[in-house]
Structure 1
């Protein structure tokens, strides 16, 4: 599929929000404003990321595609699960011990992404209305089972799957409808309204937007399903609103990073967890938030840089084309 600057811009902005959200997470109890910002980001940033991932899953189903997914998603998952286990032990993180199928921190996304592709094989055989309704029904129902949680990333896989499925079903033309002026204006109003609502409802449990806990763990067993439907609605509206404001033209120095977000996603945890372990930062005012945002942006650029890509490509993609190309260019220049 030919690259579209809109999708690459969206990836860059969303991966920045992933890093930024992880940076400020330990400080959400410091001030209501930080809690509001964190919750506001988490309402849409993973649903939007997952929707875009679903859009690019058009070839899902055949055996070769599944084998490529194993190499692209499951192998890096296993490799980084082992690496992060050792890293957490070295930095003294208390919960460094875990099973292979209990994903460390952000690694859940790789396991879930593989699972979403597998689920597509069955769901794409249904009519769109039925498939989306069934996915939503499953996402609502799993919250009633406390046994479904972090293991195999099962809770997040099933709760977030509707966004992946919708992304798969959408065409590029349909997605680009968000760029209509009316949608952009409505999106700006929607984002502002939800920011205000979150600010004045500070007791919102962030577990609702993380999608990894049962309704019982969240303390709302009886009405949990209704609240998840509400979260689905809000997340959907916010996803559309945010995408409406994603630039559709190439941005110098930014857009090209959209093809490198998997590197940022897998590698930023080494920095974030170290920062948390040594309690390097403290965030409780606007200046601190701006500073953390700048550091987050710097991390995105660092982890998207060619040296980092070359070094980490064997672990993430299972190949060394970047290093080989670099050596070939250096040899050509030396010979000339």
Structure 2
């Protein structure tokens, strides 16, 4: 499904895929077999490592209440793992327009998986957690599906961001207004869509040379003490700040804060996230690694690992006292990373391709995607 490019070498300029991925998401590969097509190992490595952090963060959720150290690490991970993923999503959305073939890919690669998993997750809860009253609603994203909903909206608005003069300041303005607007409600998880919008627009504004800057040795060296300092700061800030700020799903008023805290937190969190994301990109290997090919299947790992996380929650597997001690927390971390890695492998992708990457040629007019 995806053949990783050879090791790029230290002096090679950044290689980009010859075309945008099929559905425009950072976790889905371009069609194989096109002559002259090359993928940069950096992006696949970054996507894989980011999705591992996503899974680990979800696994830490029920454990973090018993450890201030784990709570601090949890907040730091949540400060940059989704921004790192969203920025790459924006970067690979730069060529999106309303051309029929790209709209078709947006429907099959984003809208259809959203409908499938937005239905599957509530059904899973209804039968596994014995919750017969669990409703199915396509307007209220459930658990992980908010990202697909957000990506669909962001990509549809891409042509607008490409023509306005100051896209990033406008995106910041929208995000700030969202944090002071509790009346937005839960429909389509618009709070997250709007508050994460600046990261997507930033990705649209980036050029290959910006990622080339991350190759500097001094930045890789500096990234280590920056992360160390961030972990110390995370430990310090645990009793002073709510982790809910990093979810970007509530307004300031809904978090019990005065309205003016919302715009300030948008700027503060964006600054922190940008620094940590830059350090993360700096530490991502540029050469082909054993996990590089798995970067093409991160959307599979993202959507499927949620069932296992919820299963553990419904069955109470993480309530054992020994799992809330350091060795138990380390074990949960390793298991989460291993599971999401397996879910990104080719055999899993082959099984679930029909719902995550459906072709659905029957649903479109002939020649419409020419």
TM norm. shorter chain > 0.5:
yes
Q: 2:309 aligns with which of 262, 267, 272?
A: 272
Residues 97 and 159, structure 2, Cα contact 8 Å, conserved in 1: yes
Q: What's the offset of the Cα at 1:149?
A: 4.2
Find the aligned partners of 1:228 and 1:13 in 2 and give their Cα distance: 25
Equivalent in the alignment of 1:214: 251
Q: 2:349 aligns with which of 302, 309, 314?
A: 309
Q: Structure 1's 213 and 302: CA in aligned 2 closer, same or farther, altered over 3 A?
A: same
Equivalent in the alignment of 2:157: 119
**Runs of at least 5 residues in structure 2 that lack an aligned partner in the other structure:** 1-16, 18-37, 361-370
Equivalent in the alignment of 1:136: 172
Find the aligned partners of 1:268 and 1:54 in 2 and give their Cα distance: 23
Residues 195 and 266, structure 2, Cα contact 8 Å, conserved in 1: no
Give the alignment's TM-score, normalised by structure 2.
0.82
Is residue 49 from structure 1 mapped to residue 85 from structure 2 by the alignment?
yes
Q: In the TM superposition, what are the counterparts of 1:297-336 in structure 2 within 5 Å?
A: 297-319=337-359
Q: What's the offset of the Cα at 1:98?
A: 4.3
> For 1:80-118, what per-residue CA distance to the aligned partner results, in whole angstroms no more than 9, with x for missing partners?
111112111011265832421101101000010111111
**Runs of at least 5 residues in structure 1 that lack an aligned partner in the other structure:** 321-336
Find the aligned partners of 1:271 and 1:155 in 2 and give their Cα distance: 26
> For 1:243-270, what per-residue CA distance to the aligned partner results, in whole angstroms no more than 9, with x for missing partners?
1111111112x11000000111111111
Find the aligned partners of 2:262 and 2:148 in 1 and give their Cα distance: 27
Find the aligned partners of 2:317 and 2:173 in 1 and give their Cα distance: 43
Higher helix share: 1
Find the aligned partners of 1:107 and 1:133 in 2 and give their Cα distance: 27
Find the aligned partners of 1:231 and 1:211 in 2 and give their Cα distance: 10
Q: In the TM superposition, what are the counterparts of 1:137-216 in structure 2 within 5 Å?
A: 137-203=173-239, 204-216=241-253
Find the aligned partners of 1:166 and 1:230 in 2 and give their Cα distance: 16
Find the aligned partners of 2:123 and 2:40 in 1 and give their Cα distance: 38
Equivalent in the alignment of 1:249: 287
> For 1:4-39, what per-residue CA distance to the aligned partner results, in whole angstroms no more than 9, with x for missing partners?
111111011000011111111112211101111111
Equivalent in the alignment of 2:327: 287
Residues 88 and 203, structure 2, Cα contact 8 Å, conserved in 1: yes
Give the alignment's TM-score, normalised by structure 1.
0.90
Q: 2:139 aligns with which of 77, 80, 101?
A: 101
Equivalent in the alignment of 1:12: 48
Residues 108 and 359, structure 2, Cα contact 8 Å, conserved in 1: no
